[in-house]
Structure 1
Amino acid sequence: MSDQDGRGGRELPGWARTALLVLLGVVVLGGLILAFRPSPVPVDAGEVTRGPLQVDVREDGRTQLRDRYTIAAPMAGTLERVRWRPGDEVEAGEELLGLIPLPAPLLDDRSRAQARAALEGARAGLEQARAREEAMEGAVVEAREALRRQRILLDESGGSVSAVEQAEAGLRSREAELRSARFAVQAAEQEVENARLLLERGTGNSGAERIGVRSPVSGRVLRVMQESEAAVQPGSPVLEVGDVTNLEVVADLLSADAVQVRPGHRAEIDRWGGEDVLPARVRVVEPAAFTRVSALGIEEQRVNVRLDLDPGTTLPPELGDGYRVEARIIIWEEDDVLRVPASAVFRDGDRWFAFRILDGRARRVEVEVGRRSDADAQVLSGLDVGDQVVLYPGERIEDGIRVEARR
């Protein structure tokens, strides 16, 4: 028998043994590569979509009466105990307080002349208030006509929605000024009555010593500064009254935010203590700023922005004067824009970038960004609908690195 038969089989050719060794080496090398290959970085992913976008300014504010009246003692004397309490409802002309004047000698010629001049001044103030009321009535008529014209232009495709909104805001402002002018007339009438009583008392024509001071407007008692019976001097404040249904909202914005706000901008009043969001409009942006020190001790330039609730809005009865609210003023909005989550874009120098997820890798792309809100940013170029992007990219995210979206 041959040696080959004694070994029980044939040996592999040399080339086969070499091929097996190469194959084994490839398998081992591949295993090592897989073992030491970096695993994908887990990331939060977002999607580029189309939809509405709103850019707003948020700031704490407070409610405030458009008109408040301080009822004061018209002359020196003894104030009777005030029976009114904060929250009580009063009608225009209803007596609010009683005053027993101090005994005083008749007015001399000079004092009598001053009292007559004060009465004539009060009457002139009343005429001025009535003239302003007439002017405001005319302004309301003009504002209504301007709104009617803008609506006709809009229906005929020759106008714009923003022009109609500005006309509506102008009408609301004129109507509010008319209400204020009417309150001013009532207050001026009360001033005339007080001046007349003072003159009659000094000339001996007063029929009764006790003087009753009446409410110039219908509303509610806001504060009572002097409740007990006491001696008072002329002009001493006793209580405040006002119409609590005629509220406005005052929000003090940073001056950098206030320059973006315009009268007529839509707004929402929230976090006042109830569940409903109250619609409002910007009435005026005050032209003068003031300095306020923040909680961190930083001086800030602030501007008061005044807002009116939309007509037809039911004012919650729980909401009163000086209550804290949050105002959200919408300075820009569009119904259909290409948008990306704001956390996906970042600035590098003067340009904006984002990491687009493509074939399991993060690819850095330049993005042209338009308007931005807290949640989303408008995309003008660089990304398309449906693109997946990395949210909150950190230091580990680089161009070309393997990433895996968290579930």
Structure 2
Amino acid sequence: MRTLPQLAILALVGGLGAAWHIYGEQVGLPRPLALVGLEAAAPTGPQRGGGAGAPVGVVVSPVRTGTVVDRAESVGTVRARDAVTITAKVTGIVQAIRFQEGQRVPEGEVLVELDAAALRAELDQARALFDDARSQLVRARGLQPGQTITAQRLETLEAVTRQAEGRVRQAQARLEELRVTAPFSGRVGLRQVSVGALVQPGTVVTTLDDISRVRVEFSVPEIYVARVREGSAVTARAAAFGDRRFQGRVAVVDTRIDTTTRTVRVISEFDNADEALKPGLFMTVEIEMQRRDDALLVAEEALDPLGDRNFVYVIRDNRARRVEVRLGQRLPGEVEILSGVRPGDAVVVRGLQRLRNDAPVRVTETLTRPTS
């Protein structure tokens, strides 16, 4: 059994050692001479690894370089690249419907035809008048020598011919308005009219969306406005598609910040060849704001936190040097180091609890981690 004086010495050595380890070691103070003398005078017992004469066995991992991406997350809504509501331009009776709901149609495809019987009769009449006026004008211009016609009469015939030609073109234009066509290639929606229905100008016939390429609109906080640029990568996902990720790019960044929400509106574009994304779909998006391909990464278990500060033990000359580091992004199992270490430095990942600054160590294993 240890005597009382021996126990007192042990307690004194332990207290002084703990105080130096917590405060003095952090700021690099030398080990107190009194503590060294007390340690020397302290009774000896079974030695643990990590003593002055016994290097501590540790497992290390090298600092590696990898890719770190700063991202911001938001929510957005899918919009068709081009979308329009197809309406009738003139009054008429629906004579034929030329599309199937959900069908993909090319630009200029006839979707609906209105009854054109009366207008075709009007067009025929206008053409007859035009032909008659043109014939009279041709005869007047081709009179034989000795036959005369006043200049006024010739001007009148020319004016009548132009008027008749104008009526023909007007009737043709009105006839074209009785054929409702697709203004661009896309997919039609549900039809809103039936054969025999009387439609008025503005009556909705159907919708047309070009979703071979879609837009996703979302907003990001104004603190990111300087880091969001056209061409930035965007990843989007929706609950309807499980783990599937859609890749797109920022197309437009609004020139104004919303003073109510303190956000800026961003429009991104996505290829949608399989038309999986439908207009109105709710999506979660991640926008890439910055990519660092040479970021320094260490294993997360290498960190030795103290309050709001972080330290790692770097092996140099077979000794563990306690180094303060500044952290960046956290990755699964790793953390980015912004300052304090260099690429290739061996940092302790196991055995930290037995270390002190400048303690001799023995590397028992070196863990290697995959590169990005």
Which residue number corresponds to residue 75 of structure 1? 90
Task: Tell me the amino acid that sits aligned with residue 99 of structure 1.
Answer: L
* Unaligned segments of structure 2, at least 5 residues: 19-59, 120-165, 316-320, 351-355, 358-372
Q: Distance in 1 between matches of 2:69 and 2:76?
A: 21
Task: Tell me the amino acid that sits aligned with residue 93 of structure 1.
Answer: G
1:287 aligned residue (240, 246, 255): 255
Q: Distance in 2 between matches of 1:29 and 1:207?
A: 111
Q: Deviations over 1:291-314 (max 9, x none)?
A: 6xxxxxxx52332322234xxx67
In the alignment, is the contact (CA less than 8 A) between 1:100 and 1:209 conserved in 2?
no
Give the 3 Å change call, closer, same or farther, for CA 209–279 of structure 1 in structure 2: closer
Q: Deviations over 1:20-54 (max 9, x none)?
A: x86487479979x99xxx9xxxxxxx988422211
Give the 3 Å change call, closer, same or farther, for CA 256–48 of structure 1 in structure 2: farther
SS at match of 1:234: coil
Matches within 5 A, 1:255-404: 255-271=222-238, 273=241, 275-290=243-258, 300-309=261-270, 315-339=273-297, 353-356=309-312, 366-369=324-327, 372=329, 378-383=336-341, 385-387=345-347
Q: Deviations over 1:311-362 (max 9, x none)?
A: xx673343332323333222211222213579969998xxx62154799xxx
Matches within 5 A, 1:119-198: none
Matched, 1:57 2:72: yes
In the alignment, is the contact (CA less than 8 A) between 2:212 and 2:273 conserved in 1?
yes
Q: Distance in 2 between matches of 1:218 and 1:387?
A: 60
SS at match of 1:316: coil
Q: Distance in 2 between matches of 1:48 and 1:249?
A: 42
Which residue number corresponds to residue 66 of structure 1? 81
In the alignment, is the contact (CA less than 8 A) between 1:355 and 1:389 conserved in 2?
no
Q: Distance in 1 between matches of 2:117 and 2:256?
A: 45
Which residue number corresponds to residue 205 of structure 2? 238
**Higher share in helix:** 1
SS at match of 1:97: strand
Q: Distance in 2 between matches of 1:200 and 1:93?
A: 25
In the alignment, is the contact (CA less than 8 A) between 1:100 and 1:210 conserved in 2?
no
Give the 3 Å change call, closer, same or farther, for CA 302–53 of structure 1 in structure 2: same
In the alignment, is the contact (CA less than 8 A) between 1:52 and 1:336 conserved in 2?
yes
1:94 aligned residue (81, 89, 109): 109
Matched, 1:214 2:181: yes
Shift of 1:261: 0.8
Q: Deviations over 1:172-215 (max 9, x none)?
A: xxxxxxxxxxxxxxxxxxxxxxxxxxx96997678979922111
Give the 3 Å change call, closer, same or farther, for CA 324–210 of structure 1 in structure 2: closer
Name the % identity. Answer: 24
Q: Distance in 2 between matches of 1:366 and 1:30?
A: 31
In the alignment, is the contact (CA less than 8 A) between 2:248 and 2:269 conserved in 1?
yes
Shift of 1:288: 2.7
Q: Distance in 2 between matches of 1:367 and 1:64?
A: 45
TM-score normalized with structure 2 length? 0.51
Which residue number corresponds to residue 107 of structure 1? none
In the alignment, is the contact (CA less than 8 A) between 1:269 and 1:328 conserved in 2?
yes
In the alignment, is the contact (CA less than 8 A) between 2:233 and 2:248 conserved in 1?
yes
Measured on the aligned residues, the alpha-carbon RMSD in Å equals 5.0
Which residue number corresponds to residue 33 of structure 2? none
Shift of 1:72: 0.9
Q: Distance in 2 between matches of 1:290 and 1:249?
A: 18
Which residue number corresponds to residue 158 of structure 1? none
TM-score normalized with structure 1 length? 0.47
Give the 3 Å change call, closer, same or farther, for CA 321–209 of structure 1 in structure 2: closer
Q: Deviations over 1:104-139 (max 9, x none)?
A: 9xxxxxxxxxxxxxxxxxxxxxxxxxxxxxxxxxxx
Aligned residues, how many?
A: 250
Which residue number corresponds to residue 366 of structure 2? none
Which residue number corresponds to residue 117 of structure 1? none
Give the 3 Å change call, closer, same or farther, for CA 203–216 of structure 1 in structure 2: closer
Task: Tell me the amino acid that sits aligned with residue 381 of structure 1.
Answer: S
In the alignment, is the contact (CA less than 8 A) between 2:82 and 2:210 conserved in 1?
yes
**Higher share in strand:** 2
Q: Distance in 1 between matches of 2:241 and 2:211?
A: 17
SS at match of 1:287: strand
Task: Tell me the amino acid that sits aligned with residue 284 of structure 2.
Answer: E
Tell which structure's C-alpha radius of gyration is larger: 2
